[in-house]
Structure 1
Amino acid sequence: MRAPELGALPLGLAATLGRTYGRLTEVAQGLTDADFARNTRCAGMAVGPLLVHLLYDAERALMGFATPTVAETDRDFVSYWRDFPHGDEGVPEPDTSFVRTVASAYRHPSEKLVDHWRGVSEAAVRAGAVALAEKGRRIETQGHVLRATDFAATLVVEAIVHHLDLIVELPDAPEPDPEGLQVTARTLDGLFGPEAWDVIGWDTTTYVLKATGRVPLDEDDLDMLGPSAVRLPLLG
C-alpha cells in the first residue's frame, strides 16, 4: 500500500537524516554524566539507555544501507509502521533491561557513549548518502524490504520521536530538526488517513507527541478530532 500524496516524502532525505542524527549528537554532547540518569518519556529508560537504543538503531541503519537486496519491496515508509502499533501485545517493546545494562557499562557516558553514538551515527549517514544516490536501491530490515528512501524516512521518524522523548527533562537541549519533524508528520498523516487530515489543528511537535501517545489527549483534542480520536495513538 502506497502512502497518500499528502504524505509524500521530500527530496534530500540523506541530508535530513544527517541533520536529524546531528541534532541528537548536539543533545548528547551537551550533557554531564549525571544527565544520563534523567528520565525520558520512554518508561523504564533514562537518557543513557535511550541513547543506547538509538545507537543500535543507527547501527541497523549502517548495516541496512551497506547491504542492498534485490528482493521486492513489501513496505513503504508508512506501511512499515503498521507492524509496530501502539499497545500491540504481539510486538515486543525495546529491551529496556538490555539497554540499561549496556548503558551502565559506560562509566563516563558523557565521553564514551557520546563518542560511540557519534561514530556510528555519522557512519550511517555517510552510508545513507551513498545508498540514496543509487536510484532504486532496496534495503532489508526487520523482516521487510523497503526502498532506500523509505528506509531513511523510517530512521528519521524513530530518531525524531525519541529525540522528543530524550529531552523531556533537558530544557536547554536543542529541538529536533524541523524537516525531520515534517517527515514524521507526513508519516503520521499516512497512518491517520485522509478523514482526519482536515481536523488536525496542532503544531507539528504537538501532533507528533499526541499522535504517538507521548502526551494524552485533552477534552479540546477530543472535540477537535471527533470520531477520529479513537485511532490515536498511531504508533508507540
Structure 2
Amino acid sequence: MNAGVDGKNNNFGELAATPAITLLKKTNGTDNTLAPGLYVPAGSVVTWDYILTNSGNDPLSAVVVSDDKVGAITCPATTLDVGLSMTCTAKGTAIVGQYTNVGTATAQDAFGTVVTATNSENYFGALPGIAITKTTNGTDNNAAPGPTIAAGATVTWNYLLTNMRVEDSRRRRVDDVHQGWYRCGRSVHEHRHGDRRRSDRSGGDLF
C-alpha cells in the first residue's frame, strides 16, 4: 500500500506516529514540585537533574532543555529513541528564601512534529541561626525605660526562640547577662526549621 500524502505512517494496519516526551526535574536528587520544596543552606551548591523520556512511538531528535532561571542546559545527546531516557544536569548556588524554576524540554520526530514538556522545582534557601524575642511580664521592651514595675514585685521574663536553621537544633540554651543561662525545653525533642519555643526563666516549657 502507498504511504499517505504527508509521508506519515497512516497506511492501513500501521500505527500513526505519536511523538511524545516527558520531563522529570529534581533538586539535589529529590522531586519538589510544590513549594517550599527542599530546605538547603543558602550559599550551598544546588544540583538540578532533568530526566527526559521518549514516551511516544517515534524516535526524537533536536532534543533541547532549557530553564527559565538557569538558561540552556547541557545534555549528553540530542537524540532519544523510543522508550529510552537520559539525564541532563545543571548546578547553581542556593539563594536566600523561596526559589522556583521551571525546566522545559523540546524535541521533534522525523516528520518535524515538535513535542514539549515542562516541570517545575522548588527549594528554600535558609541562613543558619536562631531568632530570639525576650519579653518582660508579657511585653517586648527593646528601648528604655520599659515597663514600670513595683519594687519587690515578681518579674517574669519569657524567651521566644525561632529556629532559622536548615537542620534540626537539638540543643537549646539561652544566656542572659543578668539571669545566667538555662535550657529551653528537653534536649530529647528536636527543634525543626521554623519551629518556635517559649520558655520562662526557670527553663520550663510553656507550650
Q: TM-score by structure 1 length?
A: 0.21
More strand by share: 2
More helix by share: 1
Q: Which has the higher contact order (CA 8 A, sep 6+)?
A: 1
